[in-house]
Amino acid sequence: MNAADLQALRIPLIVLLAALLAGAAAIYFTDRMTVAARQQLVQQQNQLKEARTRLQKSGEEKDVIVRFLDGFRQLERSGFVGEEQRINWLDALRLANQQADLFGVDYQIATQKRFQYAAELNPGQITLNQSVMRLRFRLLHEEDLVRFLNALARQGGGIFNVDLCLLRRIDTGGVIRYQPNVTADCELSWITAKVGAGAEQKKP
């Protein structure tokens, strides 16, 4: 085929090229549309499966709600669920101090952060936060520390972890009387839960 032949076949070759491009484009786009439709179908089928499972498990779900609702309400009241109830903590601190016969407790609460060990509890849609409370108090005896912490836990002002405690003996010069002998510095993490307002969540 020479240049003259190519010149003579220029228009048919352009038409061929156009047909090729148009055909390829049509196939490509319809193929993409088919793929998108297939993905949409898979998505809809998954949603259908979920809806079916949810319906099948609705009886079970009702049982779960009945079983755990009271416990959940109690946790709401105690301040574990929802916003931090720092007043509850301070009240609990005051009462624990009285019950453990301490000489007063200095406290300092830091800003709220994500609970760093949340992954251990596999919380799912629930967000766990912590606020570190630093305590400084004096003890008559080392055992008062444990009594104080147990008393604090019993107050129901929330849920906390004890992260750190440092006890130091106070030099009393050998005088024996009712006075602090030990200082304690402790760090507690008050933990709260925020339950996600997901699609499944029901309004009270």
Binders in 121-140 for other proteins, by CB under 8 A? 121, 123-126, 128
Per DSSP, helices labelled H in the chain are 3-8, 10-56, 58-78, 86-99, 143-154
Is the separation of the CB atoms in 148 and 100 below 8 Å?
yes
Greatest distance between any 2 Cα atoms in the chain = 122
Part of the chain binding other proteins (CB under 8 A), chosen from 5-13, 83-91, 92-100, 105-113: 5-13
Is the separation of the CB atoms in 189 and 164 below 8 Å?
no
Q: Work out how close the CB of 22 gets to other proteins at its nearest, in angstroms, rounded to a whole number.
A: 7
Q: Which tokens in the block code for residue 203?
A: 């309004």
Per CB under 8 A, 160 contacts other proteins: yes
Choose, by CB under 8 A, the member of 83, 106, 163, 172 that binds other proteins. Answer: 163
Q: Determine the angle formed by the axes of helices 86-99 and 143-154, rounding to 10 degrees.
A: 140
Per CB under 8 A, 155 contacts other proteins: no
Interface with other proteins in residues 11-70 (CB under 8 A): 12-13, 15-16, 19-20, 22-24, 26-27, 30-31, 33-34, 37-38, 40-41, 43-45, 47-48, 50-52, 54-55, 58, 61-62, 64-69
Quote the CA–CA distance of 157 and 91 in Å, as a whole number.
8
Choose, by CB under 8 A, the member of 96, 135, 139, 191 that binds other proteins. Answer: 191
The residue whose two tokens read 């020479």 is 2
Interface with other proteins in residues 61-120 (CB under 8 A): 61-62, 64-69, 71-72, 75-76, 80-81, 116-120
Choose, by CB under 8 A, the member of 77, 106, 146, 154 that binds other proteins. Answer: 146
The residue whose two tokens read 């510095």 is 185
